Chain A
């Protein structure tokens, strides 16, 4: 089996934040923590692109490498998880992660940092599957129910795909082949009409 992966299609993402809401609702994520976020590049400018980002469940995860208490583990399905009973909330994984996935809820007074919280690919953690303890610490365990992450399954435009890397890659490949090649792959034509300057527009002059 390949590994469980997320794939976000930048053409389809409409920045609705449905995935963020679905994740929050499914896992009852602590206040102040967003396991998934939608990032927009060139916001408000024609051609802006949005992409939904969470833990990418890296094959060679830097968070695992830097953890001083070795609380991370990788499941057979390729999901990177951690044991909150061991986590000391040091923040090393936050610095190591290129996606800003590990986050810390505020625990106690003076802004004290709690145990690290991150996307679990909706597969819980090292507690009895679908138990109250697991839900309290890690959230829902949908993989143990034969389901996929709530964010991907809830995505209205199906921009966010989740599941076996081979399967989501096949879906994305079929889409790209349907769309064709060139700028339309990224949806410019879909969003803003045919490319090129409008008819009758003066040719751009070089600045002197």
Chain B
């Protein structure tokens, strides 16, 4: 590679590095009255029940809200000891 091209490439790289700070995201929050301003949250049913090898008795299909609700409600019913003792 010619030294000229090498210098040009080095200059381009230096310019890219120098301008990298210009891409900084704004750090001041612009508040909109009455609207949640924070980050979005993941829905519980969008998690994989087998993820992270977490022990759980609940099983649902990832992304299926109804199956997650069914799993959680089944677990909630276990709080009723009358169903176990009678």
Q: In whole angstroms, how far apart are the Cα atoms of A83 and B80 in the complex?
A: 34
Number of residues of chain A lying within 8 A (CB) of chain B: 42
Interface residues on B, range: 35 or more
How would you classify the secondary structure of chain B's contact residues: helix, strand, loop or mixed? loop
Q: How far is the CA of A174 from the CA of B79 in the complex (A)?
A: 12
Q: Are B51 and A130 in contact (CB under 8 A)?
A: yes
A73 touches B59 (CB 8 A): no
Interface contact tally, CB-CB below 8 A: 112
B37, A69: Cβ atoms under 8 Å? yes
0 or 1 for each of A12-40: is its CB under 8 Å from B? (1 = yes) = 00000000000000000000000000000
Please name all residues of chain B whose beta carbon is closer than 8 Å to the beta carbon of A167 when the two chains form the complex.
73, 76-77
Given known A130-B51, A158-B81, contact A148–B76 (CB-CB < 8 A): yes
Q: Are A72 and B36 in contact (CB under 8 A)?
A: yes
Residues of B within 8 A of A158 (CB): 79-81
Residues of A contacting B5 with CB < 8 Å?
none
A184 contacts the other chain (CB 8 A): no
Question: B37 and A146: CB pair below 8 A?
Answer: no
Q: Which A residues lie at the B interface, using CB under 8 A?
A: 1, 69-73, 75-77, 81-83, 85-86, 123-130, 141, 143-148, 152-153, 158, 161-164, 167-168, 171, 174-175, 178
Which B residues lie at the A interface, using CB under 8 A?
29, 31-44, 46-47, 49, 51-52, 54, 56-60, 65, 68-69, 71-73, 75-77, 79-82
